[in-house]
Chain A
Amino acid sequence: MNRRPDFYNVYLLEILALFADKGIAIQTAATSNATDTEMKNLMAELCSLLLPIDALLDHTDFHPGHNPSSLLTTRFRNMWFICVLFNFTPSPQRASCMTDWHIGALSRIAEKTPPIVLEEAYDFITTDLEFNPVLREDYLEKVCCIAP
């Protein structure tokens, strides 16, 4: 990968799309009565995708924040929505799959994330939030158990 910097952007777009697809699949599995072990495995797989994203962004000659395309902005935004949805980010109930490695990787990804809200985005609240396919309504209404 180091020898092909022209593929950085393509690879990043694909891996972010994979992250979003995996996030949607987990929400579907959670609402279709998947077992705890299955859910844990799926979450661990999603967490592990943070490491290649971090490794890719770690290249000193790669700056996705400079003039990002609207597609890249959307994919980064969806990635962060999924991270928040599954408590990967610092929160009182942080996901158990987030080890120190993953926490460090997420902080480094945050550094190189381009702005997730575009000035020119028309009707951002409706199009990009309310009808965003990565936030499934049935998952958000699902009852889960948390420590008191």
Chain B
Amino acid sequence: MYLRTLQTAAMHKATLTKYIPLKASDIKALIPAQVVFLLTFHDLEAMRSSRGYVASTTTYFLNKGVNSRESLSSCMDSIVEKVIRGCLNELNTRVMQHSLPVTISSELQKLLVASCHRIARARDIAGKYLNRMITSLPSLMCDEPLVCAILEVLTLLRRACEGEYTDEVCLILHLRWVPPQCFQYNPAHHFTSARSNLTIELTDSYATRNEILVLLHKNANHWLTLGISRAPIEVRRTLQVRSAVYLKRLLIPLFRNI
């Protein structure tokens, strides 16, 4: 057997080209350090997602420097696509064996929160990942905390969009005394749900908030339809439990007061 000689950097470039062959022309323009970074991104996220830790993929897209490089950014998109495909293959096998990782529910909730992020690229990647996961594995909608989190995020988004027409009050810790009127007309960016124990961080733009709400509302309808057709009793039970909580905590005290 003969051995082929190759520069270490060229060998890493060849490996990366093997992973994402469609981006071969972009890879040629990358410097060795960027190739090592992309391989790290691929290997680390592939390992994490195969063990049920899917939410960390979006964190790479929060940095302005990473998002501003065209060739790097397009390669990262292709790597995310490959990681999602690998993760779905792995999870599909594990669904058959009824051995889905226990972390998957909390990780999907993190993806749901990231799909409302103020940074557009992180938001898009998280939304795409979540949509692919749930449409490929509709049985994930049998998970009560995930369904509740989706409904809670929809409620929070609606409240955030209504902020356009109300005097938003954002409670900020001030170190010195400020007149009460200063608290008014401050846009609120953080919205918290104590029931699902999550906080979403939104952009200033009400147009973008509305876009996020419309997209999530459309996706949530689709996911619930898929979930109901797959496991009608489980999903209906989850929705009924949530409706009962809503009725008990909000409506009954309201009628009592009337």
Contacts and interface: CB of A to CB of B under 8 A. Distances in A.
Contacts, number: 121
Contacts of B9: 140-141
B53 interface: yes
Given A119-B62, A125-B72, A129-B33, A89 B47 contact: yes
A111 B51 contact: yes
Contacts of A80: 40, 43-44
A8 interface: no
A118 interface: yes
Given A117-B60, A129-B37, A142-B8, A147 B47 contact: no
Interface stretch (A14-22, A32-40, A44-52, A90-98): A90-98
Interface in B1-38: 1-9, 11-12, 15, 18, 31-34, 36-37
Interface string B31-75: 111101101100110111001010010011011011001001000
A134 to B, nearest CB: 9
Interface in A68-122: 77, 80-81, 83-85, 89-93, 106-107, 110-111, 113, 115-119, 121-122
Nearest to B51: A111
Nearest to B6: A146
A104 to B, nearest CB: 11
Contacts of A140: 7-9, 12, 32
A119 B154 CA distance: 26
A147 B37 contact: no
Contacts of A121: 63, 65
B101 to A, nearest CB: 10
A41 B12 CA distance: 23
B43 A91 contact: yes
A123 to B, nearest CB: 6
Interface residues of A, number: 42
Nearest to B58: A115
A137 B36 CA distance: 12
Given A144-B8, A146-B3, A115 B51 contact: no
Contact of B11 (A117, A135, A144): A144
B33 A145 contact: no
Contacts of B56: 115
A77 B41 CA distance: 10
B4 A147 contact: yes
B1 A90 contact: no
Contact of B33 (A123, A132, A142): A132
A85 B1 contact: no
A143 interface: yes
Interface of B: 1-9, 11-12, 15, 18, 31-34, 36-37, 39-40, 43-44, 46-48, 51, 53, 56, 59-60, 62-63, 65-66, 69, 72, 119
Counting from the closest, the 10 A-B pairs by CB-CB distance are A115-B59, A89-B43, A119-B62, A124-B65, A140-B9, A145-B3, A110-B47, A129-B33, A140-B32, A84-B39
Given A80-B44, A110-B47, 5 more contacts: A93-B11, A107-B47, A117-B62, A130-B31, A135-B33
